[in-house]
Amino acid sequence: MEKQLKSGHLVFVLYPFQGHITPMLQLATILHSKGFSATIVHPELNSPDPSNHPEFSFISIPDKLTESEVSDGDIASLVLSLNKNCAAPFQQCMKKILHQKCSHDHTAGILYDTLMYCAQTVADDLKLPGISVRTSAAATLLLYPVFPHLDGKDSISENEMPELRSLQLQHMRALLLQNPTDAMTEVRAAMTNGTKSSSAIIVNTIHFLEQAALSKVKEYFPAPIFTIGPFHKLAPTICSSILMEDANCISWLNKQAPKSVIYVSFGSLASIDEQELIEMAWGLANSKQPFLCVIRPGFVRGSEWIESLPNGFQESLGERGCIVKWAPQKEVLAHCAVGGFWSHCGWNSTIESICEGVPMLCKPFFGDQVLNSNYICHVWRVGLELQNKLERGNIERAIKKLMVDMEGEQIRKKAMYLKEKADLCLREGGSSCCSLNELTKQISSFDYKT
């Protein structure tokens, strides 16, 4: 991307988890290439490494999170605490930034992860434009406005938008209802209100993937929406992994036949128990497909790593299986040996796979992963659901269907077709490219009122 004249200074506010840090730093990189300077403000938890991004300034703010808040898996309470604890330090930090910046590099806006909605309040207070950045599917923005109360009726009628019906938003509501908490209701309301007050909304999606959801989102949110995804294709070189990537798996992939390997990864947060690991391992082994499997330390509850696998399991596979703690995922998905991706359907993994034309086997664990899996299997039809619990026979059959059986042929073809469509969106004149140009203009045109 060509560098243009300086257009102002932008402040980015991170939500401190891998699936959010990466796209936000990618977005900062993209807008930097359009001439904006950038300051990255982040809570102390999972701080990014500034040495990977010498072009940005980094400011850490105290998050006062306790160890149990971080580890006990109650995401709604964690989001609430983060916003409560970070609001005042962020306000002070912004005042300092505004004081230091001289007029030729004015602060043109605060871009915050939608989950860090306290930044919108600060932006309003300082009369700065606040821009909400959704690092998940645009459809997730509908979950609160469509179901403001957990027991409410949805406002998508039966015959309206079949695509939204296929997403089974009502099914997601049922999942939320299984375990409703006050914290969850408060977070959903606060996120939605923040985004409703924002001056613009940026979504890491491609317009054609979510056309129906996007037109519905426009009914609820007044700000202009910019779909400039996938960010990773516009900012391909940035390194933001919290864990060390094991590059040896690329040498292993180099030795495999084209499209023969099933890549397995469940992202940075999901976890399984020891019995499920054993079922996974046998399912993969019995499928007879070569596999590259990421087992993050902490992924198997109660284990350090893979010590619960039967003795001799790895040796019995020989060269057919490769297990690593963390992989360079984008490079893996782009490798010609990879023919399928067994995924937890995190949004980043989903769009990374789509951009490389890799069909998916879906095993969503929680939250928006269920919605993404519905997109993959029922709307875009580039994947299969792994139904029921993790059991070796199910896994073996599903892998064969996705990778080699005639039954999976349509899915594999459709995945290649979506990749080609995604490529076009990134070219000049394509939807993401045009939306990025519009966004740049929009940010440059915001009035600076302080």
Choose among 207, 208, 205, 216: nearest CA to 161.
216
Question: What are the respective helix, strand and coil percentages of the chain, to the nearest 5?
Answer: 50, 15, 35
Can you read off the two tokens belonging to residue 50? 């500034």
User: Of these, 164, 172, 327, 382, which contacts ligand UDP (CB under 6 A)?
Assistant: 327
According to DSSP, the β-strands at 360-362 and 107-113 are unpaired
Stretch that binds ligand UDP, among 101-109, 247-255, 282-290, 321-329 (CB under 6 A): 321-329
Site residues for ligand UDP, window 333-392 (CB under 6 A)?
Answer: 346-349, 352
132 lines the binding site for ligand UDP (CB under 6 A) = no
User: Of these, 169, 269, 284, 395, which contacts ligand UDP (CB under 6 A)?
Assistant: 269
Stretch that binds ligand UDP, among 34-42, 97-105, 210-218, 266-274 (CB under 6 A): 266-274
Beta-carbon neighbour count of residue 121 at 10 Å? Answer: 18
User: Of these, 294, 338, 398, 418, which contacts ligand UDP (CB under 6 A)?
Assistant: 294
User: Of these, 268, 287, 289, 432, which contacts ligand UDP (CB under 6 A)?
Assistant: 268
CB of 41 to ligand UDP, least distance (A): 20
Stretch that binds ligand UDP, among 17-25, 108-116, 194-202, 436-444 (CB under 6 A): 17-25
Contacts made by residues 53-60, CB under 8 angstroms, sequence distance 24+: 53/25, 53/28, 53/29, 53/238, 56/28, 56/32, 59/93, 59/97
Stretch that binds ligand UDP, among 14-22, 49-57, 219-227, 356-364 (CB under 6 A): 14-22
CA 319 → CA 129, 249, 290, 305, 331, distances in Å?
54, 11, 8, 20, 20
CB of 50 to ligand UDP, least distance (A): 19
- Tallying the residues shown for the chain, one arrives at 450
CB of 118 to ligand UDP, least distance (A): 21
CB of 239 to ligand UDP, least distance (A): 10
Distance CA 381, CA 373 (A): 10
User: Of these, 18, 83, 195, 256, which contacts ligand UDP (CB under 6 A)?
Assistant: 18
CB of 240 to ligand UDP, least distance (A): 9
Distance CA 15, CA 435 (A): 24
Say if CB 364 and CB 428 are below 8 A apart: no
- ω into 89 cis (within 30 of 0): no
- For 264, the enclosing helix (H) or strand (E) is strand 261-265
User: Of these, 329, 373, 432, 435, which contacts ligand UDP (CB under 6 A)?
Assistant: 329
Stretch that binds ligand UDP, among 106-114, 170-178, 326-334, 421-429 (CB under 6 A): 326-334
User: Of these, 32, 330, 335, 412, which contacts ligand UDP (CB under 6 A)?
Assistant: 330
- Closest to ligand UDP by CB, 136 vs 195, is 136
DSSP class of residue 309 equals: S
- Closest to ligand UDP by CB, 214 vs 327, is 327
Query: 112 by DSSP, 3-state: which?
Result: strand
Beta-carbon neighbour count of residue 14 at 10 Å? Answer: 24
User: Of these, 83, 120, 204, 265, which contacts ligand UDP (CB under 6 A)?
Assistant: 265
Say if CB 1 and CB 31 are below 8 A apart: no
Say if CB 402 and CB 411 are below 8 A apart: yes
Stretch that binds ligand UDP, among 112-120, 206-214, 261-269, 354-362 (CB under 6 A): 261-269
- Closest to ligand UDP by CB, 115 vs 223, is 115
205 lines the binding site for ligand UDP (CB under 6 A) = no
Choose among 140, 144, 152: nearest CA to 213.
140
Choose among 438, 450, 3: nearest CA to 224.
438
CB of 135 to ligand UDP, least distance (A): 8
CB of 346 to ligand UDP, least distance (A): 2
Say if CB 358 and CB 366 are below 8 A apart: no
Stretch that binds ligand UDP, among 3-11, 153-161, 260-268, 279-287 (CB under 6 A): 260-268
Say if CB 4 and CB 35 are below 8 A apart: yes
DSSP string, 375-418: IIIIIS--EEE--SS--HHHHHHHHHHHHTSGGGHHHHHHHHHH
CB of 187 to ligand UDP, least distance (A): 17
CB of 12 to ligand UDP, least distance (A): 17
Question: Total residues at the site for ligand UDP (CB under 6 A)?
Answer: 18
- Mask 158-187, x = binds ligand UDP (CB under 6 A)? ------------------------------
- Closest to ligand UDP by CB, 340 vs 346, is 346
Q: Which spans of this chain sit near ligand UDP (rule: CB under 6 A)?
A: 18-19, 22, 241, 265, 267-269, 294, 326-327, 329-330, 346-349, 352
